[in-house]
Structure formats: C-alpha cells, structure tokens
Structure 1
Amino acid sequence: MDVNISKIDYRQIMEFSLDPLIIHTDLKIIDINHAAEKFFRAKKESIIGASPLDIFQETAKIAIEKRIQSAYLQPAKVIEETIYRMDGTTVDVELYCHPVQIGDTTAIQTYVKDITDRKKTEKKQVEIIKQINELSATIVPLSNEIAVLPLVGAIDEDRARMLLEVLPNKVQQQNVKYLIIDFSSIYKIDHMVTDYLFKIHNIMSLLGVRSIITGIRPELALIAINIDNRLTSTSTMATVKDALYSLGMNFKY
C-alpha cells in the first residue's frame, strides 16, 4: 500500500510527543505542544508570541541567540542549560534544536528535556566519590610524630588534587613530623600521578614534614623515573616497616 507522506499531520505528531516542543522563528514562538504547556506551567496563549530567549538567564541569552541563528542552517548540538518556567521557577534541561519547514517559513523546533533528576543523581554520585576520596586520604597515626597514608587503587586527577588540598591541614592537625606515603596498593602510575607526588613531597617539606614514599613496585618505579626524574631526589623505601626502622621504630617479635 502506498503511503502519501505529505498527508502526515505534523501537528498531531507534536501533540503526542512526550517532550516539550517549541516552534519559533525570528525569535518569536509560534507554537508549542501540550507537553510544553505542562512543563512551563502556562497556557499556550500566554506563551505564543513571546521570545524563546525569555526562558533563559541574562548571562546566557547572547550565546543562545547565536545558537538559534546557526540552527537555521543545521541542527545544533545538545546542550545543558538552566531555564525559567513561566512561574519563575528554574529547572535544568537539555536543549536540542533544528530547522523545520512550515509552509514557506523556515522555523526552529526546540526539544526541551527535564534533567533535574539526573542532575540530582550526578550530584549525589559526586558527593559519594568525594567522601570515598576523603576516606582514602585518611592519615593513620603510628606514634606522636609518625603517620602513614595508605593509598589504594587508582589515582585520577581529582583524587590527586584532593590529596594535595587536604593533606597539609591533616598533617598540621595531627602534628605529624614524618609522613609515610605507601603506594603498595597502587596499580598505576602516570605523569599526572608523579607530578602530584612531587608537589605533595615539596609541600610537606615546606611544612617541616619529612615524607617517605614506600611500596612502589620495581616495574612502577621504572615507569615513574622515566616519566619524571625529579623522583630520584625523593626519599623512598621498599616497605612501611623499612621506613619505620629508619625512623627508629623497632619491632619485637
């Protein structure tokens, strides 16, 4: 059976869309669907004729206007923005717009997707990761002046930066004079890790804290030296026990 595509009712397609849709041209809204009415908490009559820029914060309007103009030529990339509803409340959304032909008029169709729940989930995940990282930066006191920082797993840039930020306060709060940084459970070393390692060592020195690195396996040691030969000047020992012996802590069996 032949189907005449030109007979498809585009307005009906719009209304059945679950996502809010806005049709606008020359910075004037000419149509919205029912989902958009619900989302923006306003009747269609009060929205049609308004500028699509009205929903954006002042700081974003210039960039959004440029984006709309470029969308007449080709679909714009999906972006995230915080926009206003008609009642003044704000909401985080994904926006996607593309050109659409309505009779002789070229307009822009903008899809609006509420990502509030996703943003909340992402924020929770960031908080969880932050808490895990803070726990992984726990300094374990072994005596009045000696403590060990056991590092576990992989160190990415965020975790390395966090170590650099929190360690100075922690060693001062605990009156640490000797800090053993144990890498025996770290399975990957790259340029970023060695760079932060060197920075941590220098900051400890400025604070009057002697840092000793332990637990770097031979294969990782070779990688680390090839990446940054500054580490040759850093105090290192095979194990935490060796470091403790060097600091005068003897063990009886």
Structure 2
Amino acid sequence: MSEAISKIDYREVIEYALNPLIVHTDLKILYVNAAAEAFFKGNRNDIVGASPLDIFQESSKSSIDKRIQSAYETPAEVIEETIFKLDGEIVDVELYCHPILIGNKKAIQTYITDISERKEAEKKQQLLTKQINELSATLVPLLKGIAVLPLVGEIDESCASQLFQLVPEKAKQQSVDCLIIDFSGTYQLHQVVTDYLFKLSHVLTLLGIKSIFTGIQPSHALEAANLEINQFHVPTMTTVKDALEHLGVH
C-alpha cells in the first residue's frame, strides 16, 4: 500500500481538485490548479509569480501576512475573507491553509471556497428578520384594546414563521384584545404561509385575543379553502373600517 501511495502524482491530484488551490512560499505564488484559474478569471501565467497578498483588501493584508507566516509551522484555522478576482470582482470566501514541503523548502497550500451565495442569503435573512421584528414590534394601535397588523408585499414562509412566533407576544405586551390582520397590502401568499397565518389567529384565540382578517384577496381565499381553514372560524371583513364597525366602533 505504501509503495502504491508513493507513486501517486501529488500535482495531478490537486490539478483536478474541484476547489481552487494555491501553493505559495515567501509571498510568491508557485502554482494554482485549474479550478483556481477558472475562479480568478485569468490565465495561470498571470497568477503564478504574484504575491498571495494581492488578492486581499489593504485593510486585511497585515493580518493575512501574519497568518501566512504562522501557517509554515501549523495549519491555520478556517477564516472568512473578502478577496478580489483578476477582473476586480469582489467575492466572499472561506480560506484554509496548511504547510507542505516542496523538496526541502517549506510552502503553503491554500484552499478557497466561494461562500458568496451563502453570505448573500444570510444578509437577506438578517434584513427579513429586522423587517419582521420592526413590523411585529409596532402593531398599530387604533383604539383601546384594538390594533392592526398590516401585512405588506410578498410574505414568504420564513416571514410567516417569525410572525407566528412574535406577534402573539407583542399583542399581549400591548394589551391587545382584538387584532385586525390586514392582507390588503400583500400581493402573494403561498399555501404554507397561509396555513401559518390562519394558525396565528388560532393561537391568538387561545390567548384570549380576538382576530379579524381584512383585505383578503381571491387568491388568499382559494388557499384558505384548499386548507379547510374554516375550522378556525375567523371573521373576515373587506376593510379595516368594516372590521371596526363589526366591533361596534363608529
């Protein structure tokens, strides 16, 4: 087995690796594999010989230099960084590097993982969470004990889930006896989302809080019918004004 392993061509192994790999020493790139060449959008002849620090922002170069120096002795921990491609595109990546020997000389092999899509998804989720927190934290009070929750835009499953968790608590904190959930500002609801929102009304009922739905669009009604939502017996009105009249407020 050891004899077979000794015959493995290391360079051929990393050349066809799916992840971008860079080999460098003394702040000089010695080799990049095919995946790295494609990732950086350039010819490897434009990359080999350059400094690995060139791909980093100025604010990161000092810490990356220190990281590289320590990696000659022991593998470095995985970190997240923002780097540049050859065409100037900025991309978020994970970096992992460890020492290797090229003949008798120490070098470093660095693995690059593109995490741009993941970071973008995280930013969207953070923005969504912020929006939902703001929405649920400001149930609009109309009269004593009566408030309205205005739903706006496209409500997706994540948004509906957070409303389901946050709204009952906020309603209790604001001493709401009746919450009007207004759908008139929404333009799309999915089946799972509709299920969440009708169950929200059920939870409010268990807490002693009456709920009324207003502004339900025909598409929302069809989703509710498909889910047999009528079991929750939620009053529905055309407008918030109609709901207030239903409550005896004129």
Q: TM-score, normalised by structure 2?
A: 0.58
1:86 aligns to what?
none
Q: Residue 50 of structure 2 is aligned with which of 16, 32, 50?
A: 16
Q: Structure 1: how far apart are the matches of 2:113 and 2:166? A: 38
Judged with a 3 Å threshold, the aligned counterparts in structure 2 of structure 1 residues 38 and 51 are, in CA distance, closer, same or farther, namely: same
Alignment of 1:225 onto 2:213 = no
Contact 2:195 2:224 in 1 (8 A): no
SS at match of 2:248: coil
SS at match of 1:211: strand
Q: Structure 1: how far apart are the matches of 2:121 and 2:228? A: 38
Q: Structure 2: how far apart are the matches of 1:39 and 1:127? A: 28
Q: Could you report, residue by residue, the CA deviation over 1:83-142 in whole angstroms, capped at 9, with x for unpaired residues?
A: 8xxxxxxxx951489xxxx89xxx994334798xx96x9877655443322233321111
Q: Could you report, residue by residue, the CA deviation over 1:45-100 in whole angstroms, capped at 9, with x for unpaired residues?
A: x643x443xx23xxxxxxxxxxxxxxxxxxxxxxxx448xxxxxxxx951489xxx
Contact 1:177 1:209 in 2 (8 A): yes
Q: Structure 1: how far apart are the matches of 2:123 and 2:186? A: 26
SS at match of 2:155: coil
Q: Structure 2: how far apart are the matches of 1:172 and 1:146? A: 12
Contact 2:194 2:220 in 1 (8 A): no
Judged with a 3 Å threshold, the aligned counterparts in structure 2 of structure 1 residues 212 and 164 are, in CA distance, closer, same or farther, namely: same
Judged with a 3 Å threshold, the aligned counterparts in structure 2 of structure 1 residues 11 and 131 are, in CA distance, closer, same or farther, namely: closer
1:210 aligns to what?
210
Contact 2:79 2:95 in 1 (8 A): no
Q: TM-score, normalised by structure 1?
A: 0.57
TM-superposed deviation, 1:249: 0.7
Q: Structure 1: how far apart are the matches of 2:211 and 2:167? A: 12
Judged with a 3 Å threshold, the aligned counterparts in structure 2 of structure 1 residues 169 and 18 are, in CA distance, closer, same or farther, namely: same
2:130 aligns to what?
131
Unaligned runs of 5+ in 2: 1-28, 32-46, 81-91
Contact 1:20 1:113 in 2 (8 A): no
Q: Structure 2: how far apart are the matches of 1:148 and 1:182? A: 7
Q: Structure 2: how far apart are the matches of 1:222 and 1:42? A: 59
Contact 1:136 1:152 in 2 (8 A): no
Q: Structure 2: how far apart are the matches of 1:149 and 1:215? A: 12
Correspondences of 1:73-92 after superposition (within 5 Å): 81-82=78-79
* Count of aligned residue pairs for this structure pair: 183
How high is the sequence identity, in percent, across the aligned residues? 45
Q: Structure 2: how far apart are the matches of 1:148 and 1:196? A: 18
2:8 aligns to what?
none
Correspondences of 1:166-205 after superposition (within 5 Å): 166-205=166-205
Q: Residue 64 of structure 2 is aligned with which of 27, 39, 42?
A: 39
Aligned residue identity for 1:234: V
Judged with a 3 Å threshold, the aligned counterparts in structure 2 of structure 1 residues 174 and 37 are, in CA distance, closer, same or farther, namely: closer
Q: Structure 1: how far apart are the matches of 2:180 and 2:222? A: 20
Q: Structure 2: how far apart are the matches of 1:148 and 1:42? A: 54
TM-superposed deviation, 1:197: 0.8
TM-superposed deviation, 1:205: 0.9
Correspondences of 1:57-76 after superposition (within 5 Å): none
Judged with a 3 Å threshold, the aligned counterparts in structure 2 of structure 1 residues 132 and 190 are, in CA distance, closer, same or farther, namely: same
Deviates more, 1:211-220 or 1:128-137: 128-137
User: Root-mean-square deviation (CA), in Å?
Assistant: 4.0
Aligned residue identity for 1:189: L
Q: Structure 1: how far apart are the matches of 2:122 and 2:190? A: 28
Q: Structure 1: how far apart are the matches of 2:68 and 2:225? A: 67
